[in-house]
Amino acid sequence: MARRTRSAFLENRTARLKLATRKKPYTALIAPGIFLAYRRNSGPGTWSVKCHGWLKRFGLADDHEDANGESVMTYWQALEKAKSLARAGEGNSEQPSSVAEAVDAYETDLETRGGRKYNATQLRLHLTDALKSKAVALLTERELRDWRAGLVKAGLKPSSADRIGRSLKAALALAGRNDKRITNTAAWQNGLKKLPDSEVARNVILPDHTVAALVSGSYDENSDFGLMIDVLAETGSRESQVFRLTPSDLQDHLTAPRLMMPTSKKGKNRNVEYRPLPISTRLAKALRQKANGRAAHAPLFDKIWNLAALFSPVVKRLELGPEVTPYALRHSSIVRQLLKGVPTRVVAAHHDTSVAMIEKNYSRYIIGDPTEALTRATLLNLEKSPSLAQAA
């Protein structure tokens, strides 16, 4: 059996608390090229691993409270954790990524792929300093679950907390793909599972006259912003899809214009397809003017990073609630088509989603006025039944 590496001045709390408080950590060589570092603080000390020239803190020492093996560790627990972290990828001399670095990489990846950088910047605002500095490879299911629960406790709606949690999951998954030492993917897959009531408050359905007022009010704010809202309202598409439109996607037929709308990059299949969406001649004329002077394959719209913030003053002027966001235009478009009797499969294709998602989120609108006439025609006519006539 291999001998355990001992350190007379670090292996018990009594010896550690006799050390002088200082910024420079005390170290013990625990394996070739690997050091366990202990920083003596005025409060509880901290454990770090030092290897290949980098230093990474990973937990508290059990100076003033009992160890739990995760956030608070004994010397022997810290020793094993330090060796595990240092050796998780033999031959890799780079410092393990922290959560903050993972979010930075996620932001860069979003920019490269034409995604919403706002997903990363908004996430960063809700991360605690302790979580930002934590190594991704050391994250636990419990601390991620507690962090998101804290967002709801602080006043965020479950839908908002869940959305921010999904952004963190994406950032951590990217870090895992880039660094094979990160093997704790179950921590965020389980710790950040969708909250059961996270979608309840988001399906805001607006009547047609309110949608028209929102579009008109958006034009009052800014013509480009107004046109963007106009496209969202008329097509029911996502912001990310509209921002990828180019002048060549406008098929400007005089009486039946349409937009070749790119599909979203959601899910595992990132291949973009283009689906023709009919638009009004009024909107086509506005888009034609917008496309003037732009290259055929240049973006039709300049990027607007926080569309909801620009939308908020319009919502307030119309005395609507804060739950009304640009995404409500998509919900309203889906319901408008369902209530007009458009087949569910066509509604799903038009809005770049699945029949299953339409049925899950909008089933009460599928069974309504348009279908009543169809089902009423199938009712049994028992008035002519001899047995019922005799009973009467």
pLDDT in tens, 287-336: 999 999 999 999 999 988 778 889 999 999 999 988 899 999 999 999 99
> Which residues does residue 57 pair with via DSSP β-bridges, in sequence order?
48
- Give the predicted TM-score (pTM) of the model: 0.59
pLDDT digits (tens, 9 = 90+) for 71-89: 899 999 999 888 877 776 5
Under 8 Å CB-to-CB from 40, ≥6 apart: which residues? Answer: 16, 19, 20, 21, 22, 26
Q: pLDDT value at position 201? A: 43
Q: pLDDT value at position 212? A: 96
Decide the pairing of beta strands 274-278 and 72-73.
unpaired
Weakest mean pLDDT among 31-35, 306-310, 361-365, 373-377: 373-377
Query: What are the tokens at 67?
Result: 């160890």
For the segment 53-66, the average pLDDT, to the nearest whole number, is 86
Other C-beta atoms closer than 10 Å to the C-beta of 45 total 22
pLDDT at 168 over 90: yes
Q: pLDDT value at position 364? A: 79
Burial 235-253 (b: 16+ CB within 10 A, else e): bbbbbebbbbbbbebbeee
* CA–CA dist 162, 143 (Å, integer): 15
CA distances from 23 to 20, 38, 95, 306 (A): 10, 10, 20, 41
Give me the domains of the chain, ranges plus CATH numbers: 13-87 (no CATH), 99-191 (1.10.150), 208-374 (1.10.443.10)
